[in-house]
């Protein structure tokens, strides 16, 4: 194949590369409560879940984030800590999550963690797109969604 033929092939194939790199998973917010917990989960058709929760404890309220991804079953180890990078409209935050079974959990138990949780929560609430990555396991995902304000309004009023 000549250089000109390779260049033409690359030009013809370029739109397909751009399309797959920009591929996003559509997701929907679902809000619910169970006993002393109110939560809103971003659920995809692939059984993936990213959610915020506010849990009542004996000493007050604790807010946090939970994630469940099918690929975590083989990628994460129970009780290990993983750094989750979250990008929302160009703004980046990072939190440390703990693996419990196949879920990753973050609970904002001190003021610094509450500030970070509040910033992430407010950014997600105002957005329609979310990118996340855990570099230690080579995992990355991007989601688009709608109806965020409806699902998240008042969710964290006791926790933040």
- In this structure, what is the dihedral angle of CA atoms 105, 110, 115, 120, given to the nearest 10 degrees? 0
For 11, residues 6+ apart whose C-beta sits below 8 A from its C-beta are none
At residue 25, the pLDDT reads 64
Residue 109 tokens, joined: 């138990």
Cβ(145)–Cβ(25) below 8 Å? no
CA distances from residue 58 to 62, 65, 105, 106, 130 in whole angstroms, order as listed: 10, 20, 20, 19, 33
* 81-88 and 37-44 strand pairing: unpaired
Instruction: Give phi and psi for 69, each to the nearest 5.
Output: -130, 135
At residue 76, the pLDDT reads 86
* Domains of the chain from N-terminus onward: 24-152 (2.60.40)
Q: What pTM was computed for the model? A: 0.80
Question: Is it the case that residue 111 has pLDDT exceeding 60?
Answer: yes
Interatomic CA distance for residues 18 and 59, integer angstroms: 51
pLDDT tens for 28-39 read: 899 999 989 999
For 5, residues 6+ apart whose C-beta sits below 8 A from its C-beta are none
CA distances from residue 90 to 112, 127, 132 in whole angstroms, order as listed: 22, 11, 12
SS3 70: coil
Cβ(150)–Cβ(29) below 8 Å? yes
pLDDT tens for 29-70 read: 999 999 899 999 998 877 888 999 999 999 999 999 999 888
């Amino acid at each position: 194949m000549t250089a000109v033929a390779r260049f033409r092939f690359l030009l013809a194939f370029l739109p397909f590369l751009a399309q797959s790199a920009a591929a996003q998973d559509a997701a929907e917010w679902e809000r619910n409560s169970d006993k002393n917990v109110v939560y809103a989960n971003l659920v995809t058709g692939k059984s993936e879940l990213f959610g915020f929760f506010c849990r009542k404890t004996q000493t007050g309220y604790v807010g946090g984030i939970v994630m469940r991804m099918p690929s975590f079953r083989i990628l994460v180890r129970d009780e290990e800590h993983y750094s989750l990078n979250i990008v929302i409209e160009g703004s980046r935050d990072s939190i440390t999550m703990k693996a419990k079974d196949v879920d990753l959990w973050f609970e904002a138990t001190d003021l610094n963690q509450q500030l970070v949780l509040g910033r992430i929560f407010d950014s997600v609430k105002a957005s329609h797109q979310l990118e996340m990555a855990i570099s230690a396991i080579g995992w990355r995902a991007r989601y688009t969604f709608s109806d965020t304000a409806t699902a998240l309004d008042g969710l964290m009023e006791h926790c933040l």
